């Protein structure tokens, strides 16, 4: 079973419907015991870093999430669920995040706001920095669907799997380490290729 972590973020139902379309059993849950007992864990969401971290702590999810990763369970972060895996975000005046991956989350500051509107919304190209089992069957420089005003600057090049350029910034759009992979773009809204990555995740044993 795939546990979809409910920390009061948006877009969880869309992620579950995508897994349903793939025939993969999933459950939206805020119960740490269910997360601990799941075979795989997904950490998706739409929202702000400050509220997201507040809810993670209030709902006693921090230990369940870090424990699942430490136990070697296949773990997938999506959008805000990717950003708050890193050390710190500039959003909401500055927020200390989960610190699972080294790096910072910064706000887009385009030199020409008219040509590069914020939020970054729509389809954009992802260039693969290296291979990964979840990218099997997905072509390099495929386009995925983004909605975000902040972006990840990974603290270690070894964790960068994919990069995207927008608003004068080249940012980490796919990050991975061991049994964890996270995407800035919305897999559940990225059509066939997004579903392909989700399908790969539903079968992944967490090994690279």
Q: Which residues form the catalytic set?
A: 79, 186, 188
Asked if 90 and 75 touch (Cβ cutoff 8 Å), the reply is no
CA distance 122 to 119: 9
What distances in angstroms separate CA 190 from CA 9, 128, 185, one per listed residue?
19, 16, 8
Asked if 133 and 207 touch (Cβ cutoff 8 Å), the reply is yes
CA distance 185 to 202: 18
Q: Which two tokens stand for residue 34?
A: 């269910």
């Amino acid at each position: 079973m795939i546990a979809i972590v409910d920390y009061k973020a948006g877009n969880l139902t869309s992620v579950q419907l995508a897994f349903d379309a793939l025939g993969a059993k999933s459950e939206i849950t805020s119960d740490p015991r269910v997360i601990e007992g799941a075979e795989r864990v997904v950490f998706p969401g739409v929202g702000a870093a400050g509220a997201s971290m507040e809810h993670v702590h209030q709902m006693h999810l921090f230990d369940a999430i870090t424990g699942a990763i430490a136990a070697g369970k296949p773990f997938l972060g999506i959008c805000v669920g990717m950003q708050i895996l890193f050390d710190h975000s500039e959003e909401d005046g500055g927020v200390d995040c989960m610190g699972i991956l080294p790096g910072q989350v910064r706000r887009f500051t385009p030199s020409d706001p008219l040509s590069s509107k914020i939020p970054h919304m729509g389809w954009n190209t992802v260039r693969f920095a290296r291979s990964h089992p979840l990218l099997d069957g997905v072509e390099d420089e495929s386009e995925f669907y983004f909605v975000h005003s902040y972006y990840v600057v990974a603290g270690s090049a070894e964790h960068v799997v994919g990069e995207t350029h927008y608003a004068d910034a080249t940012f980490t759009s796919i990050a991975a380490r061991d049994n964890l992979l996270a995407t800035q773009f919305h897999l559940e809204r990225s059509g066939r290729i997004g579903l392909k990555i989700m399908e790969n995740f539903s079968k992944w044993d967490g090994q690279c």
